[in-house]
Each structure stands twice: as structure tokens, then as C-alpha cells.
Amino acid sequence: MRADRLVATVLLMQARGRVTAAELAGELEISVATARRDLEALSAAGVPVYPQPGRGGGWSLVGGARTDLTGLTSSEARALFLLAGPAAAGAPAVRSALRKLVRALPDTFRADAEAATDAVIVDAARWGDRDKTRPAVVDLLQDAVVRRRKVTFGYASRGRPPAPRLADPLGLVDKDDLWYLIAGTDRGQRTFRVDRITDATVTDLVAERPAGFDLQREWDRVVGEVEQRRSLLSATVLITERLLPILRDHFGRHCETLGTLDDGRVQVRVAAPMAVSIAEQLAGWGASVEVIEPESVRAELARLGSELVARYGPAGGD
């Protein structure tokens, strides 16, 4: 797991002072290219790792060899824990390693490192959105979560103009490059899509954090509620195996493979809030997909097909 490697890389560099990508690859049993990417990721995140070109060069930590983490600044430690933290949620070994690293930090910024560990989680399951880029405001929100400071921002709910908000940021979720902020508000806990946040500012007000708040547990609750709303209707379809990955990409977690038929086609269950939602997703597939049931989805497909023929058929259109 990458978080294990990032932590191990920092510890190796502290122990030796300087390593090459090849040496690191040999120690961690990874490719040289992977070792180089990990070193570049640490440097880009703010950890004081830098390359030394030429014969006898390699990668070093600013300040030379160290056997503990006391040479890291607060911002550098925070950057390391923000990188490693998301992977620790499902990996007890990584979380144990992070706890040991926290104990090695100076008391003055140990709290920031602990907060950074739990500031972000990653959920790789797609909800159908694609072609998303990481919003620039993510870094500001991460800082607010770690420092426990309230944030003000404008938020545009679907179909409504932006409205000003004051919130206690509790954590961020990276859901396949679509980011969400979980925060406390005067109306209770809310989940905000980060790409709809505008004019965000970190205030000097201390954010309130509920006792026992667990970001992963809270996100699981949010996902459960959304999934229940999004999957009120399911349909059984047949599709060729080579097209199955594309169908999965369209429906994300709402695509369940049921089995393979004798003719080689795959039986799949897909889900969406309404019959028309499923039909609109499948209409462009033409005869490549066959809907077995329910009849409501088949009827919507027939309606869409009739509309297309009427508009674009030989006797229709302009």
C-alpha cells in the first residue's frame, strides 16, 4: 500500500541521510519508477525531500540524516500525514505506524499531525460523475479541518443561487476525484460538494467537533442514505462481456454482475431512481444491450426510440 511506502521512505531517508531511487526500490521491493514517483509525491506535498544530481547524488532530507521525526516542521509533518492518512482507514498496520510516528513528533504540533491523519478519506466508487478536476479550495479546507477553524463560503445548491454559510469543517472525502466536505452547521451536520463551494475563507473562530466523531463512519452513513435514494428501481439487462466495463463506468456501484449465459452474454442488474433514468442511460447502446425487466424500463426505451425515429427517421425531421 502506498501509505506504507511513503512512511517507510521517510524513515529510511532519516536513517541514511541520502538514498537513490534504485536503493529505495531494492529496500521496499518496488520498481525504480515507483520509488521515484513516491519521492516526487513527498516533495510535492511539502515534505523536505529533494534530489541531488550528478555522480553520488540521490535524494536527501533537508537537514541531513536523522533517527527521529523531530527535525520536521509542523507544515512538513502535516503534509506527510495528509498523504498517508487516507490509506490508513482500511489498513490497521498503516494506522499503527502513523500512531508511532505521531509519538515521535514534538508536542507543539503533534495535534496537527493527528488531525491530518483523519482529515481526508478516499472512496473510489464512482457515483456517475466523470471528468472532474481537484478543486483548488480543497487545500484551504484541509487546512481548516486540521487547524480546527470555522470556514465561511458561498454554496450553490442544485437549482438555487449561492448562499453564504458558516460551518465547522469535520473532514473531506475524495470520491473518485469528486470531493465532499462534511461539516457542522447551525442546521445540523451537512455534506457539501466542494466543486459548488465559492469564496471560501478560513476564520479565526475555533470549530466545534462532536465528541467521538469518526469521519469514515459518518461517510458510510451518508453513502447509505444516498444509495437508498438513488437505487429505488433496478433493471436486469444482458450485455456482451467486452462492453461490461463501460456499463460499470456508467452506473458505478449501481451495477451488479449476476452471471454469464450460455451465449456468452453477461446478466447484470443496474439501478437508478426512476425507469426513465435507466432508459436514458441505456438508450445509446442500441441493440448491444437487452433489458429483460422491468416492463417500465422497456416501455421507456420504446418511447425514446419512437421519439428518435419520429425526429430523425426517413419521414421525420426537417
Tell me what pLDDT residue 26 has. 84
Tell me what pLDDT residue 289 has. 92
For residue 74, what are the CA distances in angstroms to 46, 105, 191? 11, 9, 29
Reported confidence tier of residue 99, pLDDT bands at 50, 70, 90: low
Task: Tell me the three cell numbers of residue 214.
Answer: 469518526
Look up cell 509533518; give the residue: 77
Q: Which domain holds residue 66?
A: 2-117
Residue 318 belongs to a domain: no
Question: Do residues 220 and 235 both lie within one domain?
Answer: no
pLDDT digits (tens, 9 = 90+) for 114-143: 555 566 666 666 665 555 677 889 889 988
The CATH number of the domain where 249 resides is what?
A: 3.30.70
For residue 162, what are the CA distances in angstroms to 140, 189, 298? 19, 19, 39
pLDDT of 205 > 80? The answer is: yes
Residue after which a domain boundary falls, among 206, 228, 250: 228
Reported confidence tier of residue 66, pLDDT bands at 50, 70, 90: very low
Question: Do residues 100 and 159 both lie within one domain?
Answer: no
Question: Do residues 149 and 252 both lie within one domain?
Answer: no
Residue 164 belongs to a domain: yes
| Greater pLDDT, 82 or 192 | 192
Residue 143 belongs to a domain: yes
CA nearest 110: which of 146, 149, 138, 62? 146
Q: Is the peptide bond before 162 cis (omega within 30 degrees of 0)?
A: no
pLDDT digits (tens, 9 = 90+) for 230-270: 656 889 999 999 999 888 888 877 888 999 999 999 999 99
β strands within 116-196, DSSP E: 120-123, 149-155, 163-175, 178-185, 188-193
